[in-house]
Amino acid sequence: MIRNWVVCASLAFSVATSFAQTPVSPPPESAPPAAAPTASATPRTWESLSPQQQQVLQSYQGKWNGLPADRQQALAKGSQRWLAMTPQQRAGAQQRFSQWRAMPPEQRQMVRQRYQEFKSLPPERQREVRESFNRFRQMPPERRQQLRQQWHQMTPEQRHHAVQSMHTPPPARHIPR
């Protein structure tokens, strides 16, 4: 039971972390593109942005017209999301973006990889992972810490076995009559 909670929570935590780490405010110029290039992306002029978007993206004003169309599109979309957020959501996004920027490149790559693994799961499995993570978040902090410690104390083989056992339904119990 504990092992299943730990595995679900760990996977969900890493996936949720990757969701949480996705920057919603404009990323720095050195950050990887926020969206993959698309054939339908057409360049936008700085003047085509709303005044609010221009304010959010002000650090890009002088170089906007030189950015690739897909980068412009991603930044414009991100600025729209930013403008639609409440002040609390913005504060949380800024905190997560700061955490993302503070991560070493290897850790960011690992988060991206885990996110891709999550996205490759069937929708039902994604739902299960989200539900498991939400249950984990509802636990008292002491219990979450205890489960994290148990996970970290497991060997890679034990972790692998725990993950595999989650995908296999438990054997049916025979109830004597």
Token pair in block for residue 166: 């989650």
Chain centre distance of CA 106: 15
Q: Model confidence over 115-169: pLDDT tens digits?
A: 999 999 999 999 999 999 999 999 999 999 998 999 999 999 998 888 777 666 6
- The answer to whether 57 touches 26, Cβ cutoff 8 Å, is yes
Domain assignments of the chain as residue spans, ordered by start:
1-24+88-172, 31-84
- The answer to whether 15 touches 118, Cβ cutoff 8 Å, is yes
Report the mean per-residue pLDDT for the chain: 79
- What phi and psi, each to the nearest 5 degrees, are found at residue 137? -65, -25
